[in-house]
Amino acid sequence: MKQRMIAAVCTALMLTACGNTAAPAAVTTQVTDTGTSAVQSSETSVSETTASAAESETEASTAPSETTSSAASEEETTVTAEEKPAALPVYTIQTTDGGTVTSEDDAKAALFEGKFDTLLISNADEYPLLSEKLSDIMKTSHDEYSNESEGLISTAKEHYSNYSESFTGEYPMQYYCTIDNSVTRCDDKVFSFINSEEGYGGGVHGWNMNIGKNIDSQTGEELALSDICTDIPRLVDILAEKLENDYSEAVTPDYQSLADYREVLTHAYGEDLQGYDATWEDGTVTHFDGMNFVFVPDGVMFFSNSYDLTFYAGGTQYLTVLFSEAEGLFNERYISVGGDFLIKYEPYNPFYIDTDNDGRGVKITSECILDDEWKTTGYSVKVGDKEYTADNTSGPDDYIDITELERKDGKYTIRLYSSDSELLAEITI
């Protein structure tokens, strides 16, 4: 039986609201494995919004189960503040490892692995309505995960049975399903996060689905786009321009004008896919409430899923609208500007931030510098018209998996990480 004690950092955004700053945090991590638990607590001096701790691991022997997997385990990370100017929501990310389902024969081939996150509000007494709504959303997410997993396990067993009758050697097609939750804003106005499901159930490629969730911290109401945006036609115009500037090749090379990109957006998030009446009046759309969005530092980020706007390989499109560049567009109740933050997001997708406080967003992108053999020789970060580079000192096959953007005391730092969380480069802009 393996027992692990891990001190971790929430892989999400933790930011101060309305410029408030938080005190050094206490990080508590709990891991439970088949009834055996271990708790590690450490007081760590950190910046206003981040915390880190060392990792330790202990192991004990156990006999494997005959036909199924190792038992599920839960990892819980709680961040609390000893002192803070205002009572902000404190959240917990609880990760449950669903274990590995194996074949019943002597090969014990891995057929399925699962994992899901659960978000909880630790200070529910201060935010009861937010806590109740979040619990409802998490229950729905967990039920969907359970149903998806049951179906995948059944299909994986059937596929393995057919495979083992015809082939020998290592089974090459392990199925999986994971659900992650990444918090993008957490304050006394709004609680936003991305609920991400990823999996594989056979075929050429797997699937991924990202859903933006936004909850009013005071009322517990889940927010629709119409709740936060005061001018839908103006928003569509802004998104169409950003889509043309950032994703013209990915979406399609056939569209040549802003009117075309407006049509792309309204076709995807109007009547055709979401059930909304996306009728046009005098060249403007009257209903547009189907695109995913979350609040992020200083603005709102809109994003697509595979096949919404383009083919599978086109990936996800992220379109960030800053409060400063769209005055009067968003409900003032949910506007929050300033303060330190730490956010992690996928590379190769542009992120906008007002780096010089001039009211305009600057596009930030990160990518690998490759040689003729597609080996990584360095890393590039572009901030508007400026480019920052760093040499690759790790290995030729180390590619960027996560980009981390931090604002602290008005200064910006970008860190690039590999798939195994190795820091590849750190650039201050």
Q: 104: helix, coil or strand? A: coil
Residue 383 lies in a domain: no
Per DSSP (E only), the strands in 144-229 are 175-186, 190-200, 207-216
User: H or E element: which one contains 148?
Assistant: helix 128-166
Residue 172 lies in a domain: yes
Residue 367 lies in a domain: no
Q: 387: helix, coil or strand? A: strand
Residue 372 lies in a domain: no
* Paired tokens of 339: 């303060």
CA atoms within 13 A on the CB side of 381: 25
CA atoms within 13 A on the CB side of 197: 17
One digit per residue, pLDDT tens: the chain, 429 residues?
333 332 233 333 433 333 333 332 222 223 333 222 222 223 322 233 333 333 333 343 333 333 444 444 555 444 443 444 457 888 888 888 888 999 998 888 999 999 998 999 999 999 999 999 999 999 999 999 999 999 999 999 999 988 877 777 778 888 999 998 888 888 899 999 999 899 999 888 888 888 999 999 999 999 988 899 988 888 888 888 888 787 766 555 454 444 566 666 766 666 433 333 444 444 444 445 567 899 988 899 998 877 777 667 767 788 889 998 888 999 999 998 777 777 777 776 667 788 777 777 788 888 999 999 899 999 999 988 899 999 998 888 888 888 888 888 888 999 999 877 899 999 998
Residue 30 lies in a domain: yes
Which residues, at least 6 apart from 256, have a Cβ–Cβ distance to it below 8 Å?
none
Q: How far is CA 108 from CA 19, 162, 306, in A?
A: 54, 15, 34
How would you classify residue 282: left for phi > 0, otherwise alpha for psi between -120 and 50, otherwise beta? left
Give the number of domains in the chain. 1
Residue 307 lies in a domain: no
Give, as one character, the DSSP assignment of residue 332. Answer: G
- DSSP-derived secondary structure for 307-329: TTSS-GGG---EEEEEGGGSTTS
Neighbours of 399 (CB within 10 A): 18
Residue that the structure tokens 């930030």 belong to = 364
Please report, for the domain that includes residue 180, its CATH number: 3.30.565.40
Residue 356 lies in a domain: no
Residue 416 lies in a domain: no
* Paired tokens of 221: 């109401």
Rounded distance between C-alpha atoms, residue 417 and residue 166, angstroms:
41
Q: Which residues span the domain enclosing 205?
A: 2-226
Rounded distance between C-alpha atoms, residue 378 and residue 339, angstroms:
31
